[in-house]
Amino acid sequence: MNDLNEVAVFAAVVRHRGFTPAAKALGMQKSTVSRMVARLEDRLGVRLLVRTSRQLSVTESGRAFHERCAEGLRLLEAAEGDVAPVEQPAGLVRLTAMPDFAQVYLAPLIGQFAKVFPLVHVELVLTTRLVDLIDERVDLAIRSGPLPDSSLVSRRVGTGARRLVASPGYLSAHGRPRTLDDLERHTCLGYRTTDGVATWRLASAKGARNVKVKARLAADDFKVLEAWAIDGLGIAMLPGFVCDAAIAEGKLVPVLKQSLDDAVPIFLVHPAGRHLPARVRALRDFLSQRLHS
C-alpha cells in the first residue's frame, strides 16, 4: 500500500456519507479528498464509490474494502495515542450517547476530564440511533436497557428510571389512567419510530407486557416530549433524569407508577479486543467511576 492517507480519506468519506462532510471533518479541500479517493481507485483497479449529482453510494467492492480497512485504521490511531507517556494519555476519543443524557450527565463530566487529561481530545457523537462502533470508528458508547449479545465489552455504570407523566391540566380534562388498557383511550406522546408506533414495556398483575402506542405526536428528543406533556398534549414516557425536576415543580404528574421499572441498567460499552488505547481507558475509567457515584 503506497499511501495510507488515501485509505484514511476513503474511510472518512464512507463514514461521513459524502465528500463535503468528510473534507470538513478532515480539514481538507473537497477537491483534494476527491482526488485522493480517485488515486486509490486507480491503484486498486476497482470502483469504490459511485458519484452522482445528488448522492454518493458505496459499491460492493468499496464496502468489502472498507470493512477490512476500518479495524486497521482504528489500531493505527490507537498506536499513535499509546506512544505518549502512560501518565499523559493523548489523542482522539470518540464517545456516542443520546443528546439528553449527554446534556445532563456527560457535559459536566467531560469538562472535568479535559482538565485532568489536557492532551486527550474528546469528540461526542450525539444521536438517537444505534451507532455501529466498529464501522463508524467510535471508541465508547453509553447505552441503556438490556444489551443484546454482541462482541462489545460492557461496564454497568448505574441505573436509570422511567416515568409515565402527564400535566395536571391534561389529567383534569381526560382523567387518570388506572390500568394499562386505559392507555388506549388516552392521547400519547411517543418516541419517534419508523412505523409511527411506540412500544412501551410495562408491568401488570399478569407480568411484563408490551403496550403498543400510536402516538399523536412523536419526536426523537425527550426534552421535546417533556415540553409537549407540560403543555397538556398527552401522556409521555420519559427518563427520570429528564422529567424529575418538572415533577418536583408540579408541572408533571406520574401516572401508572406501579407499571414501570425504576432500575433500567445503564452501560458504558466499547469494542472487544486485547488492545485498548490509553486515552480510551482513561475516559472509560473516569466516566465509570463518576457515573457510578
Q: Which amino acid is at 204?
A: S
Residue 26 backbone dihedrals phi, psi, to 5 degrees: -85, -10
Q: Cβ of 82: how many Cβ atoms within 10 Å?
A: 16
d(CA 285, CA 91): 16
Q: What are the pLDDT digits (tens) for 132-154?
A: 888 888 999 999 877 775 678 88
Position 92 scores a pLDDT of 93
d(CA 278, CA 89): 6
Position 263 scores a pLDDT of 73
Q: Which residues touch 48 (CB under 8 Å, ≥6 apart)?
A: 10, 37, 40, 41, 58, 59, 61, 62, 65
Q: What are the pLDDT digits (tens) for 88-112?
A: 789 999 999 988 889 889 999 999 9
- At 99, list the grid cell: 443528546
d(CA 174, CA 178): 12
Query: Does residue 275 sit in helix, strand or coil?
Result: coil
d(CA 47, CA 8): 17
Q: Which amino acid is at 287?
A: L
DSSP letters of 171-230? HHHH----SGGGGGGS-EEEE--TTSEEEEEEEETTEEEEEEEE-SEEES-HHHHHHHHH
Q: Which fold has domain 162-262?
A: D-Maltodextrin-Binding Protein; domain 2 (3.40.190)
**Are 194 and 183 contacting, i.e. CB atoms less than 8 angstroms apart?**
no
Task: Please state the domain extents for the chain.
Answer: 4-81, 84-156+266-292, 162-262
Angle 147-149-154 (CA atoms, 0-180°, nearest 5)?
Answer: 55
CATH number of 4-81: 1.10.10.10
**Are 255 and 188 contacting, i.e. CB atoms less than 8 angstroms apart?**
no
Residue 179 backbone dihedrals phi, psi, to 5 degrees: -135, 170
Position 195 scores a pLDDT of 63
Q: Do 162-262 and 84-156+266-292 have the same topology in CATH?
A: yes
CATH number of 84-156+266-292: 3.40.190.10
d(CA 156, CA 284): 11
d(CA 110, CA 289): 13
**Are 48 and 59 contacting, i.e. CB atoms less than 8 angstroms apart?**
yes
* Beta-bridge partners for 95: 124, 140
Position 100 scores a pLDDT of 84
d(CA 167, CA 232): 5
DSSP category for residue 105: I
- In the block, cell 464509490 appears at 49
Residues of the chain whose pLDDT is less than 70? 1-2, 53, 78-87, 149-150, 193-196, 204-207, 261-262, 273-274
What burial class does residue 254 get, using C-beta atoms within 10 Å of its C-beta: 0-12 exposed, 13-18 middle, 19+ buried? middle
d(CA 293, CA 290): 5
Position 285 scores a pLDDT of 94
Helix, strand, coil share of the chain (percent; to 5): 45, 25, 30
